[in-house]
Structure 1
Amino acid sequence: MRKFWNWVKNEDGRTLFLDGVIAEETWFGDEVTPKQFKSELFNESGDISIWINSPGGDVFAASQIYNMLMDYKGHVTVKIDGIAASAASVIAMAGGEVLMSPVSMMMIHNPMTIAFGDTAEMKKAIQMLSEVKESIINAYELKTGLPRTKLSSLMDAESWFNSKKAMELGFANGILFANESAQASPEEGIIYSQMAVVNSFLHKLPQKEKKTGTDISILDKRLELLKY
């Protein structure tokens, strides 16, 4: 049986890699798969890191993984290095800390299914999808704190988030490989850069005035333009 997960143990602890489509082997009628994952997860204790690169898959399989990780006693750190889309984004919400690569993406959308039958069966399918959506929103709401109506609208639109947008909305807590200053918002970064230039300019201003005798009022006006 080919698994969509892989555990690696080293001096830093345990790392779980979730790659590819979730539940490539069906979880329906196959109790070995969820039991095996749970056995491997709880086989040892301690903090764990989870690397996710998955387009999603079976929402019920993802829900089981989410529940297992939420119930795990150690600290769970999620690291998204490629994509965490659809059901994979649900698993990501189990992280006490969610970190995204600066080139990674997250995508959320409405659940989908295949249904056949008469009008009554179609209505049942619609109702089922509605309830599944509400259960997914539960996980998103718990992580982000966003209103349910906002989350529902984002799912309706099939929303894609880069790392900064995911942080802004609360789906992620930080960006991998970035220092503290690099994680500031674009506006903060621009302000910091402008102020650095201004301070550097002011520091050199007295020396330049002595050498050239430039009118200080002209420099003041240029400085005001630079700040703006």
Structure 2
Amino acid sequence: MKKEIKNNIPFEFANKTNADEHVMTISGAIGQGGWFYDATSAEDVRNALEGVTASTIRIKLNSGGGDAFDGIEIMNYLKDLDAYVIVEVTALAASAASILAMGADEIIMRNGATMMIHEASTFAYGTKSDIQKTMNALEAIDQSLVDIYANKTGLPHDEINEMLKAETWLTGPEAVEKGFATSTTSSVDDNNKAEEITNLKQQVQTMQNELAQLKNKPKEEPTPQPQKMVAKRKGFFF
């Protein structure tokens, strides 16, 4: 199932700078890619952002995962940037893609987006010693993942460990509640609407204060003006 998720998302890696914001699109697998699929690697991200001077970097992310080490490397690279990093999960941030997202200053779950975390996995063959070495490596990677998610969310290590074992899928609101994301698009929109309402209330209050001042202002008696003498004529209408 994990491999199907990774390969069914169309690959796209694009970069564009708009004013003071650099927008990077990462769609598809994370890692080095191969004969049968393309992928976005840590090297790709480094090369794309080298020399970028924008104060904000926005990453539009839709990925079923890939290589955990590339995900970790990208995460740490994003953390080291001077720019403010925003990750927008446009549909899915699973496995290595969720690790990547943890490097952002702000993580936004778009409408309907989900996040998935699970234990590391691999293929192994050989002797029992070979298999045991692989088991040891997987356990070490899982411990690293627990540390990463716990550091970002503030959740206890034991709880994160259980979530990894269960292969946990999180909706946008659930990801925000657990600390894996900062906000959903609906909450961002609500905040913008609340700000607009506050501004309108302030404008109305200002208008009411000005009207009250006008009402309380004493009336000024008009200065009498001299009347002009007009000759009266009969039979003419003007």
Fold match, TM over 0.5?
A: yes
- Structure 1 residues 1-228: aligned runs within 5 Å: 5-23=13-31, 25=33, 34-45=42-53, 46-179=55-188, 181=190
TM-superposed CA distance for 1:77, in Å, is 0.7
> What is the one-letter code of the residue matched to 2:77?
M
Task: Say if 2:20 and 2:56, in contact at 8 Å, map to a contact too.
Answer: no
Q: Aligned equivalents of 1:44 and 1:37: distance in 2? A: 11
Task: Say if 1:52 and 1:80, in contact at 8 Å, map to a contact too.
Answer: yes
TM-superposed CA distance for 1:164, in Å, is 0.6
Q: Aligned equivalents of 1:35 and 1:163: distance in 2? A: 29
Structure-2 change in CA distance of 1:34 and 1:81 (3 Å): closer
> What is the one-letter code of the residue matched to 2:47?
S
Percent identity for Structure 1 against Structure 2: 30
Large movers: runs of 4+ above 3 Å? 33-36, 177-183
Gaps of 5+ in 2: 1-10, 35-40, 193-238
- Note the aligned Cα RMSD (angstroms): 2.0
Q: Aligned equivalents of 1:85 and 1:78: distance in 2? A: 13
Structure-2 change in CA distance of 1:162 and 1:34 (3 Å): closer
Q: Which structure shows the bigger proportion of residues in helix conformation?
A: 1
Structure-2 change in CA distance of 1:117 and 1:138 (3 Å): same
Structure-2 change in CA distance of 1:179 and 1:13 (3 Å): closer
> What is the one-letter code of the residue matched to 2:13?
W
Task: Say if 1:4 and 1:22, in contact at 8 Å, map to a contact too.
Answer: no
- The answer for the alignment partner of 2:236 in structure 1 is none
Structure-2 change in CA distance of 1:109 and 1:34 (3 Å): closer
Task: Say if 2:176 and 2:183, in contact at 8 Å, map to a contact too.
Answer: yes
Structure-2 change in CA distance of 1:73 and 1:123 (3 Å): same
- The answer for the alignment partner of 2:205 in structure 1 is none
Structure-2 change in CA distance of 1:10 and 1:4 (3 Å): same
